[in-house]
Amino acid sequence: MNNISLLQNYWKELYPATGFKILEDFLEEAEKYRVSASDSQTDWYKDAIVYSLYVDLFNKDFSGLLDKLDYLEDLGVNCLWLLPMLDSPMRDAGFDIRNYDRIRADLLGLPENFAKEEQENLFGKFLQEAHQRGIRIIFDIAMNHTSDQHPWFLEAQKSPDNPYRDYYIWSKDNTMYSDARLLFKGIENSNWEPLGDVYYLHRFFSFQPDLNYKNPQVLLEMSRNLLYWQSLGVDGFRADAIPYLWKEEGTDCENRPKTHTIVKFFRALLDHINPGSFLLAEACQQPVNVVKYLGDGDECHAAYHFPLMPMMYKAIAMEDNLPIRKTLSTQVTPALPDSAQWMTFLRVHDELSLELIYVSEEDRKYIHENYCHDPKWDFRVGEGISARLAELFQKDIRKISLAYSLMLTITGSPVVYYGDEFGKLNDEKFYNEQIKLTGKDDTRFLVRGRIDWKQLQEDLKDPENFHTQVYEIIKSLLNTRKEHPAFGRGHTEFIDAVNLAGKNANQVLAYFRTMPEENILVVNNLSGRQVEIKHPLSHNNTFILNANGFSYNEEKESIILEPYGFVWFEAV
């Protein structure tokens, strides 16, 4: 079935009482966004090493980011995920979008009233320079809600008869959708915010009213936004908060069938106009629900593996491979469509999430107790920890390196959070600044903050400096990963590590990453004790790709791993 037929089917499912004329007119309009194809590779994301950053916090603006493309290329990065960059009042770090087709003026170094042509010239230059270095660009777009300063909402609140009123969800009381959980527990008291004599729905902050996708104009407006950025050369989008798009009374308003229809519509539209745009699902759910956002290869191309992230921390804390092996078993993580990919991460711009939707109360409590070293880091009453990677591991370089060994090799495509490559710490100054600015005590501000490049350059001159040691190890691992397609495209097969007494060494996590052209063996010591195991392969048939805290005993044909040590072998 061609994309036009698909779009018609999705439209009929979403809006059965609306004819095709609106859709046909829109598709005719959409042709203006079509550009000549310049890249035939559409599954590039399987080889991606993604680096996530805020443009302003990373290096002031796009000009500053342009200056650091050499740094990022040298680090081994081949995809940038730009955290919210669109026009915003910045009460939620840019996830409260005021205009979907404008970049924030300060990020462009332009006055607030800049012309769109200026935006397209400056941003276009950045895209061109990144693409010349083989670096793809994706960015965040909040699909579920806008800022309360968005022109649509400013119009909508004027009167019930305003044409934009139906872009949002209103009620005379706050009892509708009562089964929808409170996502910002401890920060917001309700999913409804009073405005005059009515309430509007918000699943996140009260200044982020939810969009009403039951209105077809909302779907088309959001589609126009995606097509605009696609036509400029953006390689893809991180679809923020997509599980909540479609609301139905008597449900929890998450993962509804028509939410998937909306995502299918976006995918078919992007494929129709300019094939190859990447869609990344931000669906904070159990894998069995997350894989539904990949569909049969007709929704998103990739999704975060949220449950794997906390299980990597748990495995290191309890010195046992079971949390990871269980999470990646087919009982928990279903198989993906051939075209789809998991995205793995250790830290992102949000808290270390311990939502009970994908971790048990026992796991939440255990991880929180082992990693929330400061009460100030608590987020959402124990459902998260707001701390940088180096803080969580208390600046233990061995644990930081081991965690990266796991993330970079175990499955999917990895996401590096800006600054973690050199052990950036929590930023108390930035945290306090943001509380004053937003009026919200959001501990996630601790894990953001600016990079002081002048200080970092000084730190990196000293080989004994903590930041230098972390940087050199992570850079080496990233570049090794980049050279071997099996890490992104291969099949993962866990094996039992066996000690010299012939017993399973459960503190070791070992696995093969295999594809027809490559066979790679990764062995990780999750414990704080030295461990010696039998070599799973012949020593003569392996080549060391990378290692930390590793040695080989030729006489015993054994592998010796120091506390939190690891080794990556290629079978030859």
Helix (H, G, I), strand (E, B) or coil at 368: helix
Q: How far apart, in whole angstroms, are the C-alpha atoms of residue 123 and residue 546?
A: 37
Scan for tokens 């980011």, then name that residue.
Answer: 65
Residue 254 is classified by DSSP as S
Strand order in the sheet with 198-201: 170-171, 198-201, 192-195
- CATH for 491-571? 2.60.40.1180
Contact indicator for 237, 139 with CB cutoff of 8 Å = yes
Q: How far apart, in whole angstroms, are the C-alpha atoms of residue 168 and residue 266?
A: 20
Catalytic residue list contains 92: no
Tokens representing 120 are: 């397209």
Catalytic entry in 56, 61, 96, 240: 240
User: Right CATH number for 147-210 from 3.90.400.10, 3.40.47.10, 3.30.390.50, 3.60.9.10?
Assistant: 3.90.400.10
What CATH fold (topology level) applies to the domain 44-146+215-482? TIM Barrel (3.20.20)
Spell out the domain ranges in the chain: 44-146+215-482, 147-210, 491-571
The reported pTM is: 0.95
Tokens representing 452 are: 């002081």
Burial of 98 (0-12, 13-18, 19+ CB in 10 A): buried
Catalytic residue list contains 282: yes
For the chain, 572 residues long, give each residue's pLDDT as a single digit of tens: 799 999 999 999 999 999 999 999 999 999 999 987 666 678 999 999 999 999 999 999 999 999 999 999 999 999 999 999 999 999 888 999 999 999 999 999 999 999 999 999 999 999 999 999 999 999 999 999 999 999 999 999 999 999 999 999 999 999 999 999 998 877 899 999 999 999 999 999 999 999 999 999 999 999 999 999 999 999 999 999 899 999 999 999 999 999 999 999 999 999 999 998 999 998 888 888 889 999 999 999 999 999 999 999 999 999 999 999 999 999 999 999 999 999 999 999 999 999 888 899 999 999 999 999 999 999 988 899 999 999 999 999 999 999 999 999 999 999 999 999 999 999 999 999 988 887 878 899 999 999 999 999 999 999 999 999 999 999 999 999 999 999 999 999 999 999 999 999 999 999 999 999 999 999 999 999 999 999 999 777 899 999 999 999 988 999 999 999 999 999 98
φ, ψ dihedrals at 426, nearest 5°: -55, 145
Catalytic entry in 282, 299, 355, 421: 282
